[in-house]
């Protein structure tokens, strides 16, 4: 008599199984994830409202001026999405790759290297999205208090825009980490992230820079994310937003491709 083997249906896609695994790991240490939400919030209150009370209005360069808090808030939202993605795709990914040897075990299953890369990007994107949701909730509450941090209905698109920012940095972060050899190499990553956070039009318009430096800043990924979200929350869209979206999507997709290729060299060679 022939035995018939019935396999249970696969409810989750293979990359989603990576997300599920990470969620199970973090279920008892959720504060590790939640804590990252507070950094941009502290900047909003200290810089946006604290320093902002001394600055007054800021010009957006198109004849529109907004309060300093309104100027800073979307930049901090973009930074929150960036940080959530980078936190997961740098140290955490490196530990799982080099020390826990997690992916050596995973690729012995039907899961491919591309599945691994996509799953980790999805998880990083989820973490960045949690930061963005929390930050937007605070903005909404402050808006009810009369602060007017989101002055346009287009601000509803700020969340999907922040996900695009997170995707771009998640793919780039994974790709960069595959080239890391030692923990101290992450100092170079911070050497790129911190200046980008400070000088990408986050706290003041880039019109203050010399023309050549303005061009350089406009080529950085965080500036593209800041410009995208700020244009939506302040109701000042322009055709350049398409460049922002294409830039960030391309960065994430190219990062994914590089990660899959690099994982093949690191795990299969």
Task: Please tell me the distance from the alpha carbon of residue 247 to that of residue 239, in angstroms, as a whole number.
Answer: 13
Task: Please tell me the distance from the alpha carbon of residue 180 to that of residue 7, in angstroms, as a whole number.
Answer: 40
Q: Judge whether 5 lies within some domain.
A: no
Q: Judge whether 114 lies within some domain.
A: yes
Output the tens digit of pLDDT for each of the chain's 269 residues. Answer: 444 443 434 545 888 889 888 888 877 766 666 666 677 777 887 877 777 777 878 888 777 788 888 889 899 999 989 988 898 899 889 999 999 999 998 888 888 899 999 999 999 998 888 888 888 888 877 765 555 677 678 888 999 999 999 999 999 999 999 999 999 988 888 888 999 998 998 998 888 889 999 999 999 999 999 999 999 988 888 899 999 999 999 999 999 999 999 998 988 87
Half-sphere exposure of 238 (CA within 13 A, CB side): 10
Find the helix or strand (DSSP H, E) in which 66 lies: strand 65-67
Domain count, the chain: 1
Q: Judge whether 49 lies within some domain.
A: yes
pTM for the full model? 0.89
Q: Judge whether 1 lies within some domain.
A: no
Q: Judge whether 7 lies within some domain.
A: no
Domain range holding 46? 36-268
Which of 194, 169, 200, 172 is CA-nearest to residue 82?
A: 169
Q: Residues with Cβ < 8 Å from 266, sequence gap 6 or more?
A: 97, 178
Q: Judge whether 16 lies within some domain.
A: no
Note the maximum CA span of the chain. Answer: 85
Q: Judge whether 171 lies within some domain.
A: yes
For 221, the 3-state DSSP assignment is: helix
- Backbone angles phi and psi of 115, in degrees to 5: -60, -40
Q: Judge whether 214 lies within some domain.
A: yes
Task: Please tell me the distance from the alpha carbon of residue 119 to that of residue 102, in angstroms, as a whole number.
Answer: 13
């Amino acid at each position: 008599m022939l035995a018939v083997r019935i396999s249970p249906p696969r409810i989750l896609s293979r990359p989603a199984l990576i997300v599920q695994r990470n969620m199970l790991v973090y279920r008892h240490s959720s504060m590790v994830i939640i804590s990252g939400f507070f950094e941009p919030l502290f900047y909003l209150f200290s810089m946006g409202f604290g320093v902002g009370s001394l600055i007054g209005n800021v010009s957006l360069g198109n004849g529109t001026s907004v309060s300093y808090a309104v100027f800073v808030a979307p930049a901090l939202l973009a930074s929150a999405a960036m940080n959530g993605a980078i936190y997961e795709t740098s140290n955490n990914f490196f530990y799982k790759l080099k020390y826990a040897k997690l992916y050596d075990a995973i690729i012995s299953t039907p899961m491919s290297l591309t599945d691994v890369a996509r799953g980790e990007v999805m998880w990083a994107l989820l973490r960045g999205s949690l930061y963005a949701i929390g930050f937007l909730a605070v903005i909404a509450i402050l808006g009810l208090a009369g602060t007017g941090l989101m002055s346009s209905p287009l601000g509803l698109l700020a969340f999907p825009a922040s996900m695009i920012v997170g995707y771009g940095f998640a793919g780039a972060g994974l790709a960069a980490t595959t080239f890391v050899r030692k923990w101290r190499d992450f100092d170079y990553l911070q050497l790129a992230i911190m200046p980008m956070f400070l000088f990408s039009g986050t706290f003041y318009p880039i019109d203050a820079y010399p023309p050549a430096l303005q061009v350089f800043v406009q080529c950085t990924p965080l500036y593209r994310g800041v410009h995208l979200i700020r244009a939506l929350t302040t109701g000042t869209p322009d055709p350049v937003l398409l460049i922002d979206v294409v830039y960030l999507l391309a960065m994430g997709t190219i990062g994914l491709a590089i990660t899959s290729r690099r994982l093949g060299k690191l795990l299969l060679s």
